[in-house]
Amino acid sequence: MKLKPTLSRLSRLAAFGALFAHFVHAPAGHAAETPAVIDREVLSRPLPGLSAEEEERFRRGRSLFRQSWVIAPANDVAVDGLGPLYNRLACISCHAKNGRGGAPDKPEERMQSMLVRLSLPGRNAQGGPLPHPAYGDQLNEEGIPGVPGEGRAHLHWHHKQARLADGTTVTLRWPSLSFSELAYGKLGKTLTSLRVSPHVAGLGLLDAVEEKTLLALAAEKKPDGVRGTVNLVYDKATGQPAVGRFGLKSNMPNLRQQIAGAFVGDMGITSPLFAQENCTAAQTACAAAPHGGQPELSATQLDEISFYLANLAPPPRRASDSPQVRQGEAHFAELGCATCHRPQLISGEVAGNPRLSRQSFAPYTDLLLHDMGPQLADGRPDHRANGRQWRTAPLWGLGVLTAINEQRGLLHDGRARTAEEAILWHGGEAETARRRYIKADRTQRAALLAFLQSL
């Protein structure tokens, strides 16, 4: 496989528009229209069976997820309080169409849908990362007028060839990171971690998996040198330790806290769970800026958006009956992928929500942390996750992202442009699986990739 020449984003966008223009207009007087071939709402639908009242709640949550937030003070009091420091204006800036983000192609391009976590070596009081004294635990590139953004992160791509057993070569790229315009002094020796936004469909089911299920999964003896451990994080609502499951290092215990964390971390919106603005002592303009209420996101709003994300239906399978896809599914198990990317999880009881309770579903993750080898390592521990560990990426939805997100990258930092590239970066506990993939013949590889595309 050859590296595709990098099209300018502009022409990519234009081409994307043209691609769809095709489906758009049904003229007056023609009743039977061909339904669109591409369904770009596939990650935005509710689980079936919402009552009218729940549907209303779902939509209110959806509005909040799509809302561009407003600088305080404003008449729009329900949605003000952006920043003072932030990354993007809206949840959908990074999770466009509830989908996935990607990495910029060039160093001077902004990160439109990813972020950089920061910390110093050591731990905070809850066992989590130790925030940088001046920059906190996430680089907020933007500031509202009057408050300097923290600085800019730039990705520089490096390339190498990977060779498969049959001689096929695949060009891989990986990023290095630099900063500019640092507004609050030197970063010094800081640990950094690049994160591309994952899609957000089906999270209610993942939230409903019981801790004991995850602990049992971790305790299972697994083949190929695969281990898998739970992260143990801090639940702000209970003040107790809890098994982590959200975030790319399973660094958040539940959906509600993950959402509240995103509000404060990515957009500077305080909530009942995170009541403090994310201004450090060095950031005086930030601390002095007007806020949009205390907290800015009300408990009701947090409930609504949590309800929305919890009740988003998982991505539906496509073409799962095709012989090639079935072959690929078999290879997925044979190569050892399914040891981590679990094809079945079972949820526990969720009070008042039969749609989420005791469901068997197929996220293709175990929500556990795995050592993925030095090449994927970020060197930045997070609670019990060490610098080489990542949560097994859920693979459901992998095949719909092409239709939804023109900028998308796989793996935590978006380096992989295709599923095949992602596989070739696997190392550590997944080294055996990677080797098997390299040895697989062309037909087997094509079947495996077709299977991934059907998820």
Q: Which does 27 bind (CB under 5 to 8 A by kind): ligand HEC, another protein, none?
A: another protein
As a whole number of angstroms, the distance between CA 452 and CA 455 comes to: 5
Interface positions, 170-199, toward another protein (CB under 8 A): 174, 176-182, 187, 189-190, 192
Q: Which is nearer to ligand HEC, 58 or 246 (CB)?
A: 246
Piece of 101-109, 119-127, 217-225, 343-351 that binds another protein (CB under 8 A): 101-109
Question: Counting contacts by CB under 8 A, is residue 156 touching another protein?
Answer: yes
Would you tell me which residues interact with ligand HEC (CB under 6 A)?
A: 65, 87-88, 91, 93-95, 113-115, 195-198, 200, 203, 226, 246-248, 251, 255, 258-259, 262-263, 266-267, 305, 309, 335-337, 339-341, 370, 372, 376, 390, 392-393, 395, 410-412, 419, 422-423, 426, 429-430, 433, 437, 452
Question: Counting contacts by CB under 8 A, is residue 57 touching another protein?
Answer: no
The least distance separating ligand HEC from the CB of residue 26, rounded to whole angstroms, comes to: 34
Question: Counting contacts by CB under 8 A, is residue 31 touching another protein?
Answer: yes
Q: Which is nearer to another protein, 33 or 220 (CB)?
A: 33
The least distance separating another protein from the CB of residue 99, rounded to whole angstroms, comes to: 12
The least distance separating another protein from the CB of residue 294, rounded to whole angstroms, comes to: 20
Q: Which is nearer to another protein, 42 or 455 (CB)?
A: 42
Q: Which does 74 bind (CB under 5 to 8 A by kind): ligand HEC, another protein, none?
A: another protein
Interface positions, 257-296, toward another protein (CB under 8 A): none
Binding mask 114-153 for another protein (x = CB under 8 A): ----------------------------x-xxx-----x-
